[in-house]
Amino acid sequence: MKFIHIADVHLGMIPDAGYPWSNARAEEMWKTLGKVVERCNHDQIDLLFIAGDLFHRQPLKKELKEVNYLFSMLEHTKVVMIAGNHDCIREESYYKNYPWSEQVILLQSDKFERVYFEELDTEVTGFSYHQSEIRQERYREASRGEKGRYQVLLAHGGDEKHVPIDVPDLAAKGFDYVALGHIHKPNLMPESNMAYCGSLEPTDRNDLGERGYIQGEINEQGTTFTFVPAAVRSYLSLRITITPDTTEGALCDKLKETMEHHGKQNIYKIILEGSYDPEARLDLEKIQEMGNIIQISDESNPEYDIEVLRQEHKDDVIGMYIEAFMKEPLTEDRKKALYYGINALLRQGGR
């Protein structure tokens, strides 16, 4: 039985609201789901698992129609899905009794349900969220279906407010695969036949690194699966070193070159380190506007004229601190430590 496992697609979300790429990001979430459908057709995938939060909130009727249309393109694959905390099935939800095309199965009860695919000898178990918080460890009650059939569990949660999960306990239940959702970072646990596939696309600046889906197979030999990167882009964090000689123009060129090297499409969190000229600060806001930068954090330190400082502060703790440091040669590391110290002392002194 060949499967693909996705979760946390968060359709309907508008990531990075207010940034120029925001609307494109919202579209990209749909595009990548479309790519998954294509992959299912190409690789003749038997089951597509969606482990919750397909939508970012209560789906609009229009959105359900669009998703159903996408799934109707599946030539061979059946879809089994549950609702998560974001798209939990409320009283008035359009999820309820939506007329899905025949290859789509939503396990819509808030109690465990099982669906059996005879031709695949596979049973899939799961339940949907009907409220946005569930604090009970519901997966302790999960159980395998009939012996001799492949057993898959769809599960959403893993933190305090969203069904806390005891991984060893769940692993001991002996499912052939547990398709987990809710945590946006992929986490494969092959020894336990469990995996968080992570969000299909990164949804905000804290989703650093690659995103995609899990593709695998269950057969008589057991279960195998791998992570497949699929997201249109990633959020990456880059450390850039500056010196007192670095100008805004030079920094922009360096950033441009580095961002091109790591992928023009990606969105960057920039961390500046090194030292700057305290008399000629760089305008970081201006630099951020060059594009695809969501945040610049400045961890650089002012480059001090140690001799001048020593003279100025010869009667206070800063002077003593510098004296103590200068007794031994200034290696790069000691210089860094000296500057950190001066920085802290100057700040304490109210500068």
Residues contributing to the site for Mn ion (CB under 5 A)? 53, 84-85, 182
Task: Quote the least distance from Cβ 299 to Mn ion, whole Å.
Answer: 32
To the nearest whole angstrom, how small is the minimum distance from the Cβ of residue 207 to Mn ion?
Answer: 13
Kindly state the tokens that stand for 35.
């790519």
Token duo for residue 57 = 């909130």
What is the H or E stretch that residue 228 is in? strand 222-229
Residue given tokens 């103590």 in the structure block: 324
Show Cβ contacts of residue 91 under 8 Å, excluding neighbours closer than 6 positions: none
> Which of 108, 292 has the CB closer to Mn ion?
108
| 45 versus 134: smaller Cβ distance to Mn ion | 134
Q: Which is nearer to Mn ion, 5 or 182 (CB)?
A: 182
Please state, in angstroms and rounded to a whole number, the distance separating the CA atoms of residues 178 and 346. Answer: 55
Compute the least distance from the CB of residue 40 to Mn ion, in Å.
23
- Looking at the chain, list the stretches that DSSP marks H as alpha helix, in order from N- to C-terminal side: 22-42, 61-72, 167-171, 248-262, 284-288, 306-312, 317-326, 332-348
Nearer to Mn ion, 203 or 301 (CB): 203
Q: Alpha-carbon distance 88 to 85, whole Å?
A: 5
Nearest residue (CB) to Mn ion, 84 versus 145: 84
Q: Return the number of the residue (200 or 255) whose C-beta is nearest Mn ion.
A: 200
Can you tell me the distance from the alpha carbon of 52 to that of 26, in angstroms, rounded to the nearest whole number? 18
CB of 32 to Mn ion, least distance (A): 18
Could you tell me the smallest distance in angstroms from the CB atom of residue 52 to Mn ion? 6
Those residues whose C-beta lies under 8 Å from the C-beta of residue 332, and which sit 6 or more positions away, are none
CB of 84 to Mn ion, least distance (A): 4
* Cβ 8 to Mn ion shortest distance, Å: 6
- CB closer to Mn ion, 138 vs 313: 138
Checking 38-45 for CB contacts under 8 A at 24+ apart, the result is 39/4, 39/215, 39/228, 39/230, 40/4, 40/74, 40/76, 40/77, 41/73, 41/74, 41/75, 41/76, 41/77, 43/2, 43/215, 44/2, 44/76, 45/2, 45/3, 45/4, 45/76, 45/77, 45/215
Looking at the Cβ atoms of 85 and 301, the one nearer to Mn ion is: 85
Shortest distance in whole angstroms from residue 132 CB to Mn ion:
9
Instruction: Count CA atoms within 13 Å of residue 64 on its CB side.
Output: 18
The helix-helix angle for 332-348 and 317-326 (nearest 10°) equals 170
CB of 155 to Mn ion, least distance (A): 11
CA distance 232 to 318: 51
SS3 167: helix
What are the angstrom distances between the C-alpha of 154 and each of 4, 57, 65, 170? 12, 19, 23, 12
**C-beta nearest to Mn ion: residue:** 182
Q: Of 53 and 303, which CB lies nearer to Mn ion in the complex structure? A: 53
